[in-house]
Amino acid sequence: MSLENFSYHDTIGIASFLGRGFMNPVDLRFDSTGMLFVLSRSNAGNKNVRVSAVTLDSEFQFEFANWGTEPGQTTLPTALAFDSKDRLYVSDEHMHNVSVFDREGNFIKRWGEFGSEPGQLNRPSGLAVDSDDNILVMDHVNARIQKMTPEGQYLSSFGSVGSGPGEFNFAWGISVDTGGDIWVADWRNDRVQRFTADGEFVSTFGTSGSGEGELDRPSGVHVDDRGQVYVADWRNDRVQVFDNGGEHTETLNGDATLSKWCQEFIDVNPEQAGWRENAGLFEEEKRFWRPSAIETNPEGLVLIADACRHRIQIYSKVTEPALV
């Protein structure tokens, strides 16, 4: 299916437990300089979790937040978010906390503890930052969103378990738009919900299924600076795009070519290249496999964490003609 509003740009990534490459990337964010930070959650039982800093030209810079329980380490990381001071927040659903780093990967502090009282967390998932640099935490099992200060002090919360308006069932991803509204990927309810900055329910879209505009376990939601809404339709292996009113506009299924890192690997490993040729799965190789999160930048790039193929697929928005 041809794309109307997007064109495929390129791919970053290769499967790797350490250093250059990713292992099950589940979230990604730009800092203020345009450096890309990618969260590798790794396979179940694997201890090679980390945050990697890379350029859009596929230059690996450094990694941090590696596996462990000591300050500055993570065990089951779930999401990333930058504030206006380039402090990076990393949620961890095993330790029920949020770690804070500077943009060089230096540990600053961590906050949060297990529980259901105000300020306590039970398997936090998505993160977002509002215009006041407050941290919005998707408190996954507690079925609520908590608003915290950068230091981890509780401010407010909203949400409860259920399938009605303003209720959540294992909700995961979260995004804040330029107007301050909060958007939530309500995972098990197969929908996206929209709230005001104060947590008042506004609207919802999405129903269970695989048809156009339908969702099957959406894991991530992102709203760009023009109000387009991107949803990582996780179990449907695609990313769907909606307008600000929840009307479906386009579907991205994946168009990956070999990344720079993959091409370099194949060039020096002819046996691996032969296996790939014999398998002949080139069309399947292009497609998303459990996409988890979306990020955009001011230059019109759309980056998608293609979790089970250990890469980032990048699209460009098609520039609209100027009105004269």
- Residue 106: partners with Cβ closer than 8 Å, 6 or more residues away: 64
When pLDDT is averaged across residues 17-42 and rounded to a whole number, the result is 96
Look at 48 and 38; give whichever has higher pLDDT.
38
What's residue 45's pLDDT? 67
What's residue 296's pLDDT? 98
This prediction's pTM: 0.95
What's residue 323's pLDDT? 36
What's residue 77's pLDDT? 97
What's residue 97's pLDDT? 98
What's residue 79's pLDDT? 98
Give the domains, in start order, of the chain with CATH numbers: 6-308 (2.120.10.30)
Whether pLDDT at 190 is above 80: yes
Residues of the chain with pLDDT > 70, as a percent, come to: 97
What's residue 273's pLDDT? 80
Instruction: Count the alpha carbons within 13 Å of 241 in the hemisphere toward its beta carbon.
Output: 20
Whether pLDDT at 125 is above 90: yes
When pLDDT is averaged across residues 109-127 and rounded to a whole number, the result is 98
Q: In this structure, what are the phi and psi dihedrals at residue 13, rounded to the nearest 5 degrees?
A: 135, 160
Helix (H) or strand (E) holding 15: none
pLDDT, tens digit, 9 for 90 and up, residues 194-230: 999 999 999 999 999 999 999 999 999 999 999 999 9
What's residue 30's pLDDT? 98
Q: What is the mean pLDDT of the chain?
A: 95
Cβ–Cβ < 8 Å for 119, 103 = no
What's residue 320's pLDDT? 54
When pLDDT is averaged across residues 23-40 and rounded to a whole number, the result is 98
What's residue 282's pLDDT? 83
pLDDT band at 2 (very low <50, low <70, confident <90, very high): low
What's residue 262's pLDDT? 94
pLDDT band at 44 (very low <50, low <70, confident <90, very high): low
Whether pLDDT at 322 is above 50: no
Instruction: Count the alpha carbons within 13 Å of 200 in the hemisphere toward its beta carbon.
Output: 4
Task: Say what angle helices 270-279 and 260-268 make with each other, to 10 degrees.
Answer: 110
Concatenated DSSP letters for 132-162? Answer: T-PEEEEETTTTEEEEE-TT--EEEEE-EES
Amino acid at 123: R
Q: Which residue has the tokens 């919802």?
A: 204
For residues 189 and 243, give the distance between their C-alpha atoms in angstroms, rounded to a whole number: 20
When pLDDT is averaged across residues 101-128 and rounded to a whole number, the result is 98
What's residue 321's pLDDT? 41
- Residue 120: partners with Cβ closer than 8 Å, 6 or more residues away: 96, 112, 113, 114
Whether pLDDT at 279 is above 90: no
What's residue 271's pLDDT? 86
